[in-house]
Amino acid sequence: MDILQNIRDKAKAKPVTLCLPEGEDERVVAAGAQALDLGYAREVVLLARDRAAAEAAAAKAGAALTRFTLVEPAKDPAREQAATAYYELRKHKGMTPEEAAKIMTAEPFFFGAWLLRTGAVDAVVGGAATSTGTVMRAALHVVGLAPGCKTLSTCFIMLLPKPEFGDEGVMFWADPALVVDPTPEQLADIAVATAENYRLLVGLEPRVAMLSFSTKGSAEHPLIDEVRRATALVKQRSPNLVIDGEMQADAAIVPAVAAKKAPGSPIQGNANVLIFPALEAANISYKLVERIAGARAVGPFSQGLAKPYNDLSRGVKVPDLVDTIAVTVARVV
């Protein structure tokens, strides 16, 4: 299964209006041009603090700036409307109209998030030259969380060299990058969001394993209790989802081990979604599997937001940026 090609095809099937808030970065401009060329976007809205800087970035990228819709938030006619909307969203936190206006015009990500909230654009991708804190703060403050979800999290698409794992080597792992020590409620949110993304992007039914250092009562500890509680919450929220826990990793992905440790498991050692009990476990695991087993980790991708919005690594290269755009576009519904 070439999951990335499937995602690219899905993105081509429904091109969107894409917003890239870092129009002064040549990588972003180059990726935006490719998104147009590949059919992922019918329009790319570039945001920039300074038009001259955007022109310079386009020249370095070898892309004509006229291909894009360039918006300078500080000069845009909608800036006052955007600032008022942001103030209304945050006044309960003590924000003043003056502060809202300053943030909305000074930081393109907030303006981009407002465009996404209003439906003027369909998706936002950024973070190539901006801290994750700024990128995700704009998402949480302006875009907001999806209905029923109280947790912003991330997941990786894991492409494994052995097809016997997951679905022909495709698995989703969460959360490797954002929620450090999730509560049972947060862990349940992460599980539901990751399962939904698996179904949407892969097109197959998720089989979710809630990982721990115990399998079905083989040990007792407060940390295990948290995973059990999270599993129960997921079952209440999504009764048709195939999920089991708590379980050790081998019982989740090896049928022979599952037959011994968890003979009644609905997963039967064939999980395609792994939910780790804490960020450190997920982060350590994906890096080890990359280096030792030769897997490829694609992402991480944001999940739990009301609309498609993705952060980037500041060291991102253009091909990976283009693939992140494809994943984000494929999640537009």
Determine which helix (DSSP H) or strand (DSSP E) holds 50, and give its type and residue range.
none
Q: Sign of dihedral through CA atoms 184, 269, 328, 28? A: positive
> Residue 132: its pLDDT value, please?
85
Residues 6+ apart with CB under 8 A from 171: 157, 158, 160, 165, 271, 272, 273, 274
State how far Cα 262 lies from the chain centre. 31
- Please tell me the predicted confidence (pLDDT) of residue 237: 94
Judged by DSSP in three states, 223 sits in helix
Q: What is the DSSP letter of 309?
A: E
Residue 1's pLDDT is: 66
- Say how far apart CA 18 and CA 46 lie, in whole Å: 9
In the chain, how many H helices and how many E strands?
13, 11
Predicted TM-score (pTM) of this structure: 0.89
Q: Are 133 and 140 in contact (CB under 8 A)?
A: no
Q: What is the pLDDT along the chain (333 residues), one digit of tens a residue?
A: 688 999 999 999 989 999 999 999 999 999 999 999 999 999 999 999 999 999 999 999 999 999 999 999 999 999 999 999 999 999 999 999 999 999 998 899 999 999 999 999 999 999 999 988 899 999 999 999 999 899 999 999 999 999 999 999 999 999 998 999 999 999 999 999 999 999 999 999 999 999 999 999 999 999 999 999 999 999 999 999 999 999 999 999 999 999 999 999 999 999 999 999 999 999 999 999 999 999 999 888 999 999 999 998 888 899 999 999 999 999 997
Q: Which domains does the chain have, with CATH numbers?
A: 3-144+305-330 (3.40.50.10950), 153-298 (3.40.50.10750)
Are 286 and 158 a contacting pair, CB within 8 Å?
A: yes
What is the DSSP secondary-structure string of 186-203?
A: HHHHHHHHHHHHHHHHH-
> Could you check whether the bond before residue 161 is cis, i.e. omega within 30 degrees of 0?
no
Q: What is the DSSP letter of 276?
A: -
User: Which residue reads 């755009």 in tokens?
Assistant: 325
Closest CA to 197 of 214, 175, 212: 175
**Phi and psi angles of residue 71, each rounded to the nearest 5 degrees, phi first:** -125, 130
Provide the pLDDT for residue 245: 94
